[in-house]
Amino acid sequence: LENLQPEIKELAKRLRYEVSVRGKQLGWSEKVARFHFTKNMRRIVTELYVRDNCHPFKATLLLWVQIPMWVCVSLALRNCSVGALGSAVQEQFSSGGALWFTDLTAPDSTWILPVSLGLVNLLVVEIFASQKNPQVSRFQKLVTNFFRVVSVVMIPIAATVPSSMALYWLSSSLVGLSHNLLLRSPTFRRLCCIPRTKSDSDTPY
């Protein structure tokens, strides 16, 4: 998508000129000319997305699987922790922890899991925010700030739920952080044949 932007700008410039010439020939008003420009530009951009197989909607597909799975696993862990699936399962959870969180049915009184969760989530958000993209829209800034707030709000929430849920959330966030760091590696990107973009850095870390 990023690599397509220069081509899209060039095509938009050419189309704007063609529509202007055509509009003068046919006596189009500014509103009609703008309609034809928008309609044709949308078609051109869609053709480019199909050509390079990079439609923006594909970037959201994973979320439609990831979010329901995250919710379902969280609810399942809560049910196991509160005894909704039977006392035998709850007993196993109460003695199946490790380190300082030996009881997975109780909240983490040390706040180590909740604070770690918040810090990891903030780190993931900042990794996205630090990408060298000079054209950051107002909407993107709002989304970034929204996820910063969510990362902080998750800390007290994680401190009130069973440790099993907080541990799962932290593990999930650590996997996400690992993915983000790995995908910023120039060596890994070359191995996966991921095209280089202007915002890529040779020293991302």
- Provide the residue range defining the domain that includes 33: 3-52
Residue 199: inside a domain: no
Where b means 16+ CB within 10 Å and e means fewer, 79-90 reads: ebbeeeeeeebb
Q: Please give the pLDDT value at position 173.
A: 92
pLDDT digits (tens, 9 = 90+) for 58-94: 878 888 888 899 899 999 988 888 877 778 877 878 8
Same domain, 69 and 105: yes
Residue 8: inside a domain: yes
Same domain, 144 and 128: yes
| pTM (whole model) above 0.75 | no
Same domain, 74 and 152: yes
> Could you tell me which residues are beta bridge partners of residue 98?
101
Same domain, 98 and 135: yes
pLDDT in tens, the chain (205 residues): 878 888 899 999 999 999 898 888 888 888 888 999 999 999 999 999 988 888 888 878 888 888 899 899 999 988 888 877 778 877 878 887 778 878 888 888 888 999 999 999 999 888 877 765 556 667 778 888 898 999 999 999 999 989 889 999 999 999 989 988 888 888 888 888 877 777 777 777 7
Q: Which of 200, 172, 152 is nearest to 77 (CA)?
A: 172
Residue 145 CA, chain-centre distance (Å), reads 13
Q: Please give the pLDDT value at position 205.
A: 74
* Backbone dihedral region for residue 135 (phi beyond 0: left; psi -120 to 50: alpha; all else: beta): beta
Query: Which residue bears the tokens 């529509």?
Result: 19
C-alpha span between 7 and 3 (Å, rounded): 8
Same domain, 36 and 66: no
Say how many domains are in the chain: 2
Phi and psi angles of residue 171, each rounded to the nearest 5 degrees, phi first: -60, -45
